[in-house]
Each structure stands twice: as structure tokens, then as C-alpha cells.
Structure 1
Amino acid sequence: MQPIIDVRQLSKTYASGFQALKPIDLQIRQGEIFALLGPNGAGKTTLISIVCGIVNPSAGSVLAGGHDVVREYRAARSQIGLVPQELTTDSFETVWNTVSFSRGLFGKAPDPAYIEKVLKDLSLWSKKDSKMITLSGGMKRRVMIAKALSHEPRILFLDEPTAGVDVELRRDMWTMVRALRASGVTIILTTHYIDEAEEMADRIGVINKGELILVQDKAELMNRLGRRQLTLQLQSPLAAIPAGLAGHALELSADGQQLVYTFDAQAERSGIDVLLRRLAELGIDFKDLRTSQSSLEDIFVDLVRERA
């Protein structure tokens, strides 16, 4: 299937000589939720801004919905909705007029029924006649999303969409995002809440210092790079790890009551089998065990540290 966003050798260097983006290749599939992660200043917003037509690239090309974002910018932008980090609205305009005006900017005919649906989906219907200046920060963030959806885009960029949003509003937003994905809209999000990416994303991209260092399905990424641990609660404490267990990545707790085995996905089955057999041979009994896996946040931090 043709990707809905196709980035080829895209780079950006400013007049000062600062290279914000090194040559990047990235294909985003239609109907997926793609999370772009990276530390502050990594190039996330620059990449999004180029795709959305806000910043001009230094080299390379971007197709959005099959349209070149430079040569066919009107057609490309009509495919895209953007929720920026900054809250930029007309303070003295009503919610209804703000969202309706955004639809008109893209040449779309008025559709009150669609605007009503968007506002209701975002729990904004009761605020439709309220002026923007009277809204809370979380409500203004919702209006930004409504504006981005007003012209029925096929691609939605969410740049730190839940910054400053309370827990209830945050959950409502992600319910809406899932519904949009189910309807065929492609979602690209940047977030500092890595638990959001872990919960929501189909694929993960990691960018650091302008370089796209990894793109992978979330499940594959966590399976390949995630550390796993098996913790054994021993029947009797050990003074030290026996020599017969040398070769296993084991740690003994300070009180000698727990053995912790760290392993990766490839070694999971064979490694655990061998370890348990060796414990039985050595007469080391355990009364309980539990497993754990590193989170996406752990993986992200490790990747960025490795590159640093």
C-alpha cells in the first residue's frame, strides 16, 4: 500500500549553519497511530513543520496523501490537520465560530452537523457559545483539536496534545483518537508522556539530534530491546550466588532472599529452562516467582543514552 506520508532524504539546515534535520527517510502507513519520540531539540517539531508546510526543507521531498508538500502545497495541506504545541486562538471569538472559520479557511462548504459532531466528540458542545478567553487551558487544547479536524483531514498531527491537560480530558482525547484511527485517519503524535505512546501507538519512531535513529512496530521494539526479569523468592536465603550458576545474568538481593535473572526475548525460553534445571540440581528451592518487562520509557532512555 502506498504510504500516506512519504519522506525521502529530508533535511533542514538554517542560515546559521545549524542542521536541525539530517537526511531522513520515513514512510507512515494510512490508518496507523505513529508516535515520534525524542528529547527536547531533537527535531520533532521541525520535521512536523516541514510536512505541514510551515517550514521549507533544505533538501529532500515529502508527499502527503500523494501530493508534494512544496509543489502541490494546497492539495497537500488539505489532507492535513495540525494541533500545535502553542495555544493560538482568537480570545474574543466563540468556540463555534472559531472551529467553523477554520473549516472555511480550507475552502470547505459549511457543515453545521459535522461541526456539532466534532464538538460533541470533544465534550465541547456545552461551550459552543463561550468565548475562547473564558475557557481553561485544557478546554482551549480541545478547541485546537476541533480546529484541526474541522476540514475533515486524512492526516492528523498532534504535537504534545495533552500538555497541561488534566487526567479526565486526557482520557477523553485518547478515546477520540482511537475513534479517528478506526475511521481511517492517520495519527502522528509527539509526546513527552511516553506511557501514552506505549498505550496508543502502532509504531514508534525515535529521533535524536536531527537523526531518525529507529522506526519499528511497538510490539517488535519492546520485544527486541525490552529487558525482562525473572525474580525468584527463595525458600532459604543464600550467602552468595553459587559457582554452579556462573554464566547466568543473576543478581542476589542484599538479604539473600531473592535471585533476579535478567534476559532478553531471544534467550527467554532456553535461558529460563536452563536456569531452573540448574537450581533444581543444586537443591535451591523457591517459593514464588514473578516476571517483569522494561517499559517503552526505559527503552527510549537507553537508546538516547547510547547515541549520546
Structure 2
Amino acid sequence: MTMPTTTSPPGTAGAAAPTGSPFADVTTSAATLHRFLHGLPGVDAVGLEARAAALGTRSIKTTAKAYAIDLAISMIDLTTLEGADTVGKVRALGAKAVHPDPTDRDTPRTAAVCVYPDMVATAKEAVAGSDVKVASVATAFPAGRAALGVKLADVRDAVAAGADEIDMVIDRGAFLSGDYLKVYEEIVAVKEAAQHARLKVIFETGELSTYDNIRRASWLGMLAGADFIKTSTGKVGVNATPANTLLMLEAVRDFRAQTGVQIGVKPAGGIRTTKDAIKFLVLVNETAGADWLDNHWFRFGASSLLNDLLMQRQKLATGRYSGPDYVTVD
């Protein structure tokens, strides 16, 4: 598919199909949006999975591995999203985000802590004085089954409490029914309610069934003004995979080529080891490029991943693994 390009500079913040965009007419009606999304090239599932697997076999040498570990730590949205979350747990999470390894102050901070809206104020206090962001899930996370007014109130409450970032879920029922305009308009409304906060749009890729749907959701989110597109809530059986993340990285790369607007990517759920994280960083570098190798444009939605990264970091520094009390168990 050939589309006209613009002269907008790379790295511009996301905005919903701005005037002058090559996609300005795409969202004018349900019919035009449907036509555009179903006109995107079909995904070669076998080829996609083969490329993701091949990139995952790249070997990383010691110096590069040390760099990759620190980069991965700096990209983590340290997350707790449980009904049993307490003020104490969120405070501890914030302290860990600011000083992941209290014995080594050269350890990078994580990018953010991610919590429910009612814990945003607590998280802000816990990371005060640092550059760690506070992200809040919203819009009736994780199912997204609520009226739009309720979802927007959820977002406004999180922003009022100090959230720097909002992680919203799309209406998967509407998307799978082909009501793309409803999903688009909801993202636009959430983007407006989020005000200054950066917006991450979660697709729940494990529920979208096909790679074609993931590609369509990626473009829909970007057209609507997402600052990030995110794979999953971490609450279903299939979350982030190398293949679905590769597909989303291709989408943000192609979107920037056509509009000049750079969008971030956040795989979430199921990424637990240093080896996993490095595979994803290779995907980023080889697919979207080095411009995305920064926590402003790429994040890991994770909690247990940080512990493994810290243990591997100490192993590189000392030649041995830490004892069982070296890292906290989340």
C-alpha cells in the first residue's frame, strides 16, 4: 500500500489524524475507517513468526549484554495490579523503582510504576524527587466493560491524583464486531480526558484472534492519538509475544514513515527473564530502529522481570549470582 508522506519531523507526539495528515480522511466515517483498516496488507503469519524466532537467536556479548540489561531496567513499568494491593505494597514498589538495587546506586531507575487509579497518589509520594513516572490503568481495566462516562471519570480521577501516564483498554467487543469508529472515538475521548498524561492504548492481543486484527488495532490506536500501543493487560492467557510485538513495531515504524509521528510500543505480560527482555530489545533495534531504544518510546510491562535483570547484572559485575535475599520477591 502506497501512501503520501508528510514533512512533519520525527518524534512528534501522537495526535488523532491531524489536519494535513495523509490519513485525515480515513476517520471521517465508519465506512472509510473500515475500508482503510481492511485495506492494510495481510499478515504472513508464518513469515512473521519465523522472523521473530530468528531475531531471538542473536547472541549478545558481555559488554553489549551489560548495556542491554541496564537499558531494559530503565524501560520497565514496575507494575502491581491486584485487588489485594495495599498502600504499603505500593510504597515499597515505588522505592524499588527509584533504587532497584539499594547496594548499587549506579543501577538505573525504572521508567515508571503502574498502579490502579486509587493508588496513584501513594505512588507519586513514593517516587517524589525522582524522574520515575506514575502510570495508571483506567477505563474499567482490564475488561473495559463500562459506559464511556464511567471510563472517562476513571481517567480524570487518575490524572487529578497525579498520573503521568494512562494505560487504557480498548473495547474488544466493539473491535471484533467491526465497529472501529466506536473504538476510535473512545480513544480520542480518553486522550482528551488524559490531558497532559501520555496515553498507552492496550489491545489485549490474546483476544484479537489474528495477526491481521493486531495490525488493524495498531493503526486504529495510532490514528486516534495513542502515544504508545500496548499488547496486553497481563490478565489473559496469551500476552506479549515476540511475534505480536514485532508486528506492532512494524506498524509504528511505517506510521512514522508516513506521518513523521513517532509512537511508542509496550509489550506487557509474560516477560520474566533477562533472556526474554534482550530478545525484545533486538526486535526493537532490528525492526523499528535505534530511535526506539529509549524508555520514552519502549517499555516493558512487568514486575518479576526486574528481579532477574538485577541478578544477571550482579553476575556480570561479580562473576557470581546473588544470594536469595539479594532481590525482593514481588
Q: Which has a greater percent of helix?
A: 2
TM-score of the two chains, using structure 2 as the length reference: 0.34
Q: Which has the bigger relative contact order, CA under 8 A and spacing at least 6?
A: 2
TM-score of the two chains, using structure 1 as the length reference: 0.35
Q: Which has a greater percent of strand?
A: 1
